[in-house]
């Protein structure tokens, strides 16, 4: 099975492993190969991760002690806005699109994505957007300082940096929509014979639902920022009460996009973990069918809970109650997933290589983040905690310990397949332990700060918050520095190391492990045979 | 044909579990995108329709909303106006009104700038008795922002408010008084113009 095309079609020039691509930089600009594009997405997202991370360290340096030390309040606001936009749209989302590009065709036995040329365009839209965002710091008035939510009236009043942010969001939206159309079409249409939807690897399922979420929600965000743009320059008053509009309308539209966005980030993370945990438990995933229904349920409900971000905007009591209960409902399918992951490990023969460590870190910390989310879902509590550091702690547990740890889990899991070499296990484990320890030092105290009433998005704070902020800043710098380890690990694995088998993890199953490591430039030019017994392992 | 340019799988006759051609699926997804765009374009109208239907944020119905909780009772309103410097002539069009609590009241104040120069001013309200101030719910008021008056300009300005029906029973007469203060250097914008005023 493993050598389907290498052995079977060695004489056929169309199917051979020798890539026919231009050399040098031209290869990367013109490539339509899903593996090349996947790698570019991953590198891009890592660069953006470092840029956004540097910004967060500016924030944490300023917050190390009360008073204003290093930056002006305006610049502080720009840093926290760009940090959020870059991390969400530049780092986490492209990272999982990178995984999708690399792995989905190999998981379903397709030779490439459905629209290979469009795939290239969706990637190359990202760098201009990233440049617009970062260059906006240097224009008069600076970058957008509104927070990533871009609420009017502030976003209507800001300088040209706001327009650059709006255009960047347009471009990023276009890229995401094109990428999603590609991924959804690939998953629906290019699966190898015999692989029905319910026998498809779970990562593909999470991306199928994520793709639909993106296709439905990104145009909503694009529309919202377009209305901001016309309010700013063309005299419309969508969000201006003086002209008959309502700034609260923006919040409704933004969060109608914004909440599904949370699951756009979380679902692929769930998908990666659903591959790693079974592999290192040496068992099949427990409750595959319930996992699929849980993914679909989460995707669907995520469109009907948006106003839980708006409890203090004056929505009526009935509305508050509805959004509270609907939000809590999401805990049910999410709980099903956590239950299934834990049950997968039950009586498995577990080993704790780096991918598994990150998956377990994800499992524990994401669950904490989910529980604080439930606390925030309660209207009465949220009115107290709205815009405090409790919220900051909550979403960093979901975004960093959830999505980022899952991405690391996937990176270490598939790195041998991509590079053909085993990574340095010792460094990988060190990276994990430093990450999880410093992460908790950085973010756990923020729960206490929020409960004590420290507001977010303000560069100064009152004396009684000083100690926890020192702890948090120390943790943030430790976390930031330990992320450089992953760069060493990846460079080492690219350059050399122990040869990786086609299936370097004895518990891993699926078509992607039947091709040699490193994966040849072209794989599955002819659909491979699919063994249903191997499905969703 | 360059295999990299053609949609994958379109030339091979394999037996993949297809839903339709790639292009057909993509077209359906594009329709979803367009539907989403239309949906967001319709939001301002839908939002307004929803708010009108439910009565949320509806200023015209504020009267009914306020009255629905407590019955209105008669109260006398007196209006007063002062100017902190002699430059502005400032007085209300009505000196007193008999209204019911919960009713929307609309009063016009008249201002005349008697100087040959531009004046920037801001009206500051005060109430008698003082504790009644919290029951005056202003919907619109010229006192919300600074006003710039051209030389010898005459302007009529509105204040729209209602008296909260929870107004304590011992308040039978409520005085709303405004004092216009000239702003010497109010905010960045006023700086330039006030420099002219001084010369
Ligand atoms: Cu939400």
Write the ipTM: 0.86
**Is A522 assigned a catalytic role?**
no
Which DSSP string corresponds to B28-71? Answer: HHHHHHHHHHHHHHTHHHHHHHHHHHHTTT-GGGHHHHHHHHS-
State whether residue B74 is helix, strand or coil: strand
**Is A309 assigned a catalytic role?**
yes
Collect the ranges in chain A with pLDDT lower than 70: 1-22, 534-537
Q: For residue A463, count other CB atoms closer than 10 A to its CB.
A: 9
Task: Give residue B20's pLDDT.
Answer: 65
CB B16 to CB A192 under 8 A? yes
Q: What is the DSSP letter of B104?
A: E
Chain B residues whose CB is inside 8 A of the A191 CB are 16-17
Task: Give residue B57's pLDDT.
Answer: 61
Q: Is B1 exposed, middle or buried (0-12, 13-18, 19+ CB in 10 A)?
A: exposed
Task: Give residue B1's pLDDT.
Answer: 36
CA distance A293 to A31: 36
**Is A112 assigned a catalytic role?**
yes
User: What's the token pair of residue A145?
Assistant: 């300082």
Task: Indicate the domain borders of chain A.
Answer: 29-200
User: What's the token pair of residue A449?
Assistant: 């700060």
Chains A–B, number of C-beta pairs less than 8 Å apart: 109
Residue with tokens 């990023």: A172
Q: How far is the CA of A323 from the centre of ligand 1 (A)?
A: 10
User: What's the token pair of residue B65?
Assistant: 């909303």
* Contact in structure between A3 and A517 (CB atoms under 8 Å): no
CB A191 to CB B16 under 8 A? yes
CB A223 to CB B37 under 8 A? yes
Interface check B151 vs A, CB under 8 A: no
Task: Give residue A354's pLDDT.
Answer: 95
Q: Per 3-state DSSP, what percentage of chain B is helix, strand, and coil (rounded to 5)?
A: 30, 35, 35
State whether residue A515 is helix, strand or coil: coil
Task: Give residue A4's pLDDT.
Answer: 39
Distance separating the N- and C-terminal Cα atoms of chain B: 81
Residue with tokens 């991918």: A355
CATH number attached to the domain at A29-200: 1.20.210.10
Chain A residues whose CB is inside 8 A of the B18 CB are 189
pLDDT band for position B131 (cuts 50, 70, 90): confident
Chain A residues whose CB is inside 8 A of the B29 CB are 180-181, 184-185, 215
Quick one: CA torsion of A430, A60, A267, A344, rounded to 10 degrees? Answer: 40
Q: What is the pLDDT of residues B148-169, one digit of tens each?
A: 888 888 888 888 888 888 888 8
Q: Does B187 score more than 80 pLDDT?
A: no
Q: Give the nearest partner residue to A181 out of B17, B26, B34, using CB atoms.
A: B26
Q: What is the pLDDT of residues A207-263, one digit of tens each?
A: 999 999 999 999 999 999 999 999 999 988 899 888 888 899 999 999 999 999 999
CB B9 to CB A249 under 8 A? no
Residues by chain with Cβ below 5 Å of ion ligand 1: A 259
Interface check A195 vs B, CB under 8 A: yes
Q: What integer is the mean pLDDT of B42-70? A: 69
Q: What is the pLDDT of residues B1-45, one digit of tens each?
A: 344 444 444 444 455 556 568 888 899 999 999 999 999 999 989
CB A181 to CB B22 under 8 A? no
* Contact in structure between A472 and A64 (CB atoms under 8 Å): no
Which of B:22-41 have CB within 8 Å of A? 22, 25-26, 29-30, 32-34, 36-37, 39-41
* Contact in structure between B87 and B113 (CB atoms under 8 Å): yes
Q: Is A329 exposed, middle or buried (0-12, 13-18, 19+ CB in 10 A)?
A: middle
Residue with tokens 């290093």: A70
CA distance A479 to B99: 65
CA distance A428 to A449: 32
Chain A interface disruption, residue of B2, B24, B29, most A CBs within 10 A: B29
**Is A337 assigned a catalytic role?**
yes
């Amino acid at each position: 099975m493993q050598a389907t095309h290498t052995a079977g079609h060695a004489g056929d020039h169309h199917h051979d492993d020798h890539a026919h691509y231009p050399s040098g930089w031209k290869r990367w600009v013109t490539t339509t190969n899903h593996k090349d594009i996947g790698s570019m997405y991953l590198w891009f997202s890592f660069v953006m991760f470092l840029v956004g991370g540097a910004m967060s360290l500016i924030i944490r340096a300023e917050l190390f002690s009360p008073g204003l030390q290093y930056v002006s309040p305006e610049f502080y606001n720009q840093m926290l806005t760009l940090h959020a936009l870059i991390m969400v749209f530049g780092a986490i989302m492209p990272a999982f699109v990178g995984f999708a590009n690399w792995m989905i065709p190999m998981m379903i036995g397709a030779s490439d994505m459905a629209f290979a040329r469009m795939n290239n365009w969706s990637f190359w839209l990202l760098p201009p957007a990233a440049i617009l965002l970062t260059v906006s710091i240097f224009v008069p008035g600076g970058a957008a300082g509104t927070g990533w939510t871009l609420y009017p009236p502030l976003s209507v009043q800001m300088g040209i940096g706001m327009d650059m942010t709006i255009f960047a969001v347009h471009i990023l939206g276009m890229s995401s929509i094109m990428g999603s159309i590609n991924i959804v079409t690939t998953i629906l249409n290019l699966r190898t014979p015999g692989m029905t939807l319910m026998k498809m690897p779970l990562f593909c399922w999470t991306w199928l639902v994520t793709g639909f979420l993106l296709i439905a929600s990104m145009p909503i965000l694009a529309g919202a920022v377009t209305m901001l743009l016309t309010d700013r320059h063309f005299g419309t008053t969508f969000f201006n009460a003086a002209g008959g509009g309502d700034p609260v309308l923006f919040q409704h539209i933004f969060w109608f996009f914004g909440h599904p966005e949370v699951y756009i980030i979380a679902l692929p993370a769930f998908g990666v973990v659903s591959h790693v945990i079974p592999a290192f438990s040496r068992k099949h995933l427990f409750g595959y069918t319930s996992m699929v229904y849980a993914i679909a349920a989460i995707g669907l409900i995520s469109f009907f809970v948006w106003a839980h971000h708006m409890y203090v905007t004056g929505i009526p009591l009935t509305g508050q109650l509805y959004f509270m209960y609907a939000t809590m409902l999401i805990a049910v399918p999410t709980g099903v997933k956590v239950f299934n992951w834990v049950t997968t490990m039950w009586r498995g023969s577990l080993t704790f290589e780096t991918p598994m460590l990150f998956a377990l870190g994800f499992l524990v910390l994401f669950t904490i983040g989910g529980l604080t989310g439930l606390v925030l879902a309660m209207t009465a509590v949220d009115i107290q905690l709205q815009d405090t550091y409790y919220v900051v702690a909550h979403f960093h547990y979901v975004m960093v310990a959830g999505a980022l740890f899952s991405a690391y889990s996937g990176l270490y899991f598939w790195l041998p397949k991509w590079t053909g070499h085993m990574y340095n296990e010792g460094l990988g484990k060190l990276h994990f332990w430093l990450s999880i320890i410093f992460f908790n030092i950085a973010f756990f105290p923020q729960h206490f700060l929020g409960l004590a009433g420290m507001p977010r998005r303000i560069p100064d704070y009152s004396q009684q918050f000083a100690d926890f902020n020192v702890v948090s800043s120390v943790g943030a710098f430790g976390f930031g520095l330990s992320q450089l380890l992953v760069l060493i690990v990846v460079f080492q694995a690219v350059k050399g190391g122990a040869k990786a088998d086609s299936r370097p993890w004895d518990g891993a199953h699926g078509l992607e492990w039947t091709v040699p490591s490193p994966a040849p430039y072209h794989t599955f030019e002819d659909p491979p045979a699919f063994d249903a017994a191997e499905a969703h392992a | 044909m360059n295999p990299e340019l053609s949609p994958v799988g379109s030339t091979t006759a394999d037996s993949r579990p297809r839903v339709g051609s790639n292009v057909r699926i993509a077209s359906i997804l594009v329709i979803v995108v367009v539907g989403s765009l239309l949906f967001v374009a319709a939001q301002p109208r839908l939002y307004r329709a929803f708010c009108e239907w439910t009565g949320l944020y509806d200023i015209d119905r504020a009267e009914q909303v306020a009255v629905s909780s407590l019955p209105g009772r008669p109260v006398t309103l007196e209006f007063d106006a002062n100017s902190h410097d002699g430059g502005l002539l400032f007085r209300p069009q009505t000196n007193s009104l008999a209204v019911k609590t919960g009713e929307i009241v609309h009063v016009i104040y008249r201002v005349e700038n008697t100087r040959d120069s531009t004046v920037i001013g801001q009206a500051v309200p005060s109430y008698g008795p003082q504790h009644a101030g919290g029951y005056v719910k202003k919907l619109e008021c010229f006192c919300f922002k600074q006003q710039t008056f051209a030389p010898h300009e005459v302007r009529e300005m509105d204040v729209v408010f209602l008296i909260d029906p929870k107004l304590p029973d011992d308040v039978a007469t409520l005085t709303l008084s405004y004092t216009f203060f000239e702003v010497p250097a109010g905010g960045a914008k006023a700086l330039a113009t006030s420099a002219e005023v001084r010369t």
